[in-house]
């Protein structure tokens, strides 16, 4: 069979239609040619108490047309069995893990020098590896889908079954031999703690075309008799998501917000988060003395920031909260001093020292300081600077999303997170009778309506929000979730946003371990000249101040929302 005989996109659209809404046609990664790696995801895949065994079908890692066809035939058979099978097995699929290899005829390679069927677990270069991005995307995506079983199908001249060490009973029922090689996806996913989570068992079927479906039938029968239960990975993610927001905030607060150097919002937001946590958790450790120690040096050098960049200035976002906690006006004074460094620009021009291209970061940087300065002084000029910046930016598009800046037409995930936070921060301090309040709420709601349509089944938002397959990015999800939660608490959003907020929290909480390690906050970034810049921007796995800061703000805001709506 040649690759020209498979129209993968059309085949998947047909299967999705035949599922009557059970499958969502999605993507689990992006190749070097910027092609999405397609996935069919069952809508019930992320339910924590779902009884049927959750199986993820994997095919076409080699990129060969025969392997892809085997996966498509298996999916077609599953759909045609109807309720008889779906009552006991919930199936999702990556039917072609190497779409470039299929399209370009370079199987088993991907046309970029990589081989997606091997090299697991990939160690670094998430997610912009120059030769093997498929392995990074698939490795991460599989763990956080967390099926109960991986089922790989391959074409071959004779029938053979292989099973990982994590599925001994199923291996026995199928007469399977051990999975090889050790660096294959299924073998690597079954040992250790893949992606910091837990193993997922797997079986692989290799079969000629005429034997494929009979062997698949035998597999389904064996699966029913064995009764797999939830995989270790699914149990671990369910445990993580069972933690309350304040429990996660305690984990985050023990790690983040204990330093402020260099002075930057990245650490400043976490210091604010620790102060908010202390209000919610009065029986916990009082952080004030430690925070005073942490900020002593930055306070001494705050004069140097006047007129400086917004990222550094907003590193003092905690100052008004510390003034309230201590009664020391020095902290509130620095808020006003930094706000005074901003000068209102001419109509249509950015206030200095903000980027004249109206970057979404500056929307947030200005918003964190201007509203607080207004609250402290009552002076209208601070609100003028912020509201003018938001209204004059002209970076919000007709669909509601924001470009990164006026000349960078890409929907960067955290860029839209910055925009959502900036409106949220502004509306928090803006008087109800302010003449621009209605227009700002309309812009804010338009954006949030747009982004919640792009929310993944996992609850996460993407690195490039409108490009399926880009990685599920932590900070954007926290920032958007926070803005929705705050808006509901303060009354400018209605209760219909609660489902999106809780779903975002589900995805975020799964990506925070008990030592405050994080999964896939995007590393710092400037503006890029093309979408590849954003696709390839590195994702951090482990400790990350930026992700920890936004996560603790989200956790504490959601805790407040839950308490107020209980």
Q: Is 141 a domain residue? A: yes
Summary count for the chain: helices (H), strands (E):
23, 12
Q: Is 235 a domain residue? A: no
Residue 227: the pLDDT is 78
* pLDDT at 84 exceeding the cut of 80: no
What's 130's domain CATH number?
Answer: 3.40.630.10
Range in 11-25, 76-90, 193-207, 470-484 with the lowest mean pLDDT: 76-90
Residue 306: the pLDDT is 57
| Domain co-membership, 209 together with 321 | no
| Domain co-membership, 97 together with 183 | yes
pTM above threshold 0.75: yes
- The proportion of the chain whose per-residue pLDDT surpasses 70, expressed as a percent, equals 98
Range in 89-103, 121-135, 227-241, 292-306 with the lowest mean pLDDT: 292-306
| Domain co-membership, 435 together with 480 | yes
Residue 2: the pLDDT is 41
Instruction: Name the domain count of the chain.
Output: 2
* pLDDT at 163 exceeding the cut of 70: yes
Cα separation, 50 vs 88, in Å, equals 10
| Domain co-membership, 31 together with 156 | yes
Segment 114-140, tens digit of pLDDT: 999 999 999 999 999 999 999 999 999
| Domain co-membership, 259 together with 226 | no
Segment 288-306, tens digit of pLDDT: 999 999 999 999 887 766 5
Q: Is 300 a domain residue? A: yes
DSSP string, 147-189: -SEEEEEEE-SS-EEEE-TT-HHHHHHHTPEEP--TTSHHHHH
* pLDDT at 1 exceeding the cut of 60: no
Q: What is the mean pLDDT of residues 94-108?
A: 96
- Contacts of residue 239, defined as CB under 8 A and 6 or more positions apart, other chains included, come to none
- State which of 196, 230, 264 marks the end of a domain: 230
Q: Is 238 a domain residue? A: no
Q: What is the mean pLDDT of residues 151-166?
A: 95
Residue 524: the pLDDT is 85
What's 545's domain CATH number?
Answer: 1.50.10.10
Q: Is 212 a domain residue? A: yes
| Domain co-membership, 440 together with 463 | yes
* pLDDT at 308 exceeding the cut of 90: no
Cα separation, 108 vs 121, in Å, equals 18
Q: What is the mean pLDDT of residues 460-485?
A: 98
| Domain co-membership, 133 together with 196 | yes
Q: Is 236 a domain residue? A: no
Residue 4: the pLDDT is 46
Q: How confident is residue 166, by pLDDT bands cut at 50, 70 and 90?
A: confident
- State which of 192, 208, 230 marks the end of a domain: 230
Q: Is 155 a domain residue? A: yes
* pLDDT at 192 exceeding the cut of 60: yes
| Domain co-membership, 274 together with 198 | no
| Domain co-membership, 77 together with 181 | yes
| Domain co-membership, 295 together with 175 | no
Retrieve residue 405's tokens. Answer: 């800046």
Range of the domain at 205: 3-230
Q: Is 364 a domain residue? A: yes
If we measure between CA atoms, which residue out of 545, 543, 508, 542 comes closest to residue 524?
A: 545
| Domain co-membership, 421 together with 512 | yes
* pLDDT at 363 exceeding the cut of 50: yes
Cα separation, 421 vs 481, in Å, equals 10
- State which of 201, 230, 259 marks the end of a domain: 230
| Domain co-membership, 209 together with 257 | no
Which residue do the tokens 């608490």 mark?
Answer: 489
């Amino acid at each position: 069979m040649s690759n020209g005989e498979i129209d993968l996109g059309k085949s998947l659209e047909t299967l999705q239609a035949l599922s009557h809404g059970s499958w969502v046609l999605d993507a689990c990664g992006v190749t070097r040619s910027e092609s999405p790696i397609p996935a069919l995801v069952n809508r019930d895949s992320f339910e924590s108490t779902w009884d049927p065994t959750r199986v993820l079908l994997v095919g076409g890692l080699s990129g060969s047309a025969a392997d892809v066809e085997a996966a498509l035939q298996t999916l077609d058979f599953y759909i045609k069995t109807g309720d008889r099978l779906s009552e006991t097995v919930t199936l999702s699929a990556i039917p072609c893990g190497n779409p470039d290899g299929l399209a370009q005829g370079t199987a088993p390679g991907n046309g970029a020098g990589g081989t997606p069927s091997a090299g697991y677990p990939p160690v670094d270069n998430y997610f912009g590896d120059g030769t093997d991005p498929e392995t990074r995307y698939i490795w991460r995506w599989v763990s956080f889908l967390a099926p109960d079983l991986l089922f790989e199908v391959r074409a071959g001249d004779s029938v053979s079954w292989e099973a990982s060490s994590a599925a001994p009973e199923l291996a026995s029922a199928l007469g399977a031999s051990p999975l090889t090689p050790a660096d294959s996806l299924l073998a690597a996913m079954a040992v250790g703690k893949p992606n910091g989570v837990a193993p997922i068992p797997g079986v692989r079927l290799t079969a000629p075309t005429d034997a494929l479906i009979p062997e698949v039938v035998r597999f389904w029968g064996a699966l029913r008799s064995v009764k797999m239960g939830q995989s270790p990975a699914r149990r671990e993610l369910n445990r993580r998501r069972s933690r309350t927001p304040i429990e996660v905030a305690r984990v985050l607060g023990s790690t983040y917000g204990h330093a402020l150097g260099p002075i930057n919002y990245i650490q400043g937001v976490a210091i604010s988060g620790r102060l908010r946590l202390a209000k919610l958790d009065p029986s916990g450790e009082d952080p004030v003395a430690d925070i005073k120690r942490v900020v002593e040096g930055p306070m001494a050098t705050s004069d140097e920031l006047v007129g400086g960049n917004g990222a550094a200035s907003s590193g003092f976002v905690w100052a008004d909260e510390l003034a309230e906690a201590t009664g020391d006006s020095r902290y509130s004074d620095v808020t006003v001093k930094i706000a005074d460094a901003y000068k209102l620009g001419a109509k249509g021009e950015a206030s200095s020292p903000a980027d004249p291209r109206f970057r979404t970061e500056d929307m947030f940087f200005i918003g964190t300081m201007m509203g607080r300065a207004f609250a402290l002084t009552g002076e209208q000029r601070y609100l003028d600077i912020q509201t003018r910046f938001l209204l004059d930016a002209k970076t919000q598009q007709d669909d509601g999303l924001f470009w990164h800046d006026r000349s960078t037409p890409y929907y960067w995930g955290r860029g839209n997170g910055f925009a959502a936070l900036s409106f949220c921060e502004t509306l928090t301090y803006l008087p109800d009778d302010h003449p621009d309040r209605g227009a700002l709420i309309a812009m804010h709601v338009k954006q949030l309506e747009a982004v919640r349509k792009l929310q993944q089944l996992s609850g996460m938002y993407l690195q490039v929000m409108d490009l399926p397959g880009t990685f599920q990015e932590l900070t954007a999800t926290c920032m958007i979730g926070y803005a929705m939660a705050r808006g509901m608490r303060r009354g400018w959003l209605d209760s219909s946003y609660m489902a999106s907020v809780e779903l975002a929290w589900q995805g975020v909480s799964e990506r925070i371990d008990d030592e405050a390690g994080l999964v896939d906050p995007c590393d710092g970034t400037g503006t890029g000249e093309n979408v590849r810049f954003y696709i390839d921007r590195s994702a951090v796995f482990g400790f990350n101040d930026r992700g920890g800061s936004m996560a603790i703000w989200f956790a504490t805001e959601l805790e407040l929302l839950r308490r107020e709506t209980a």
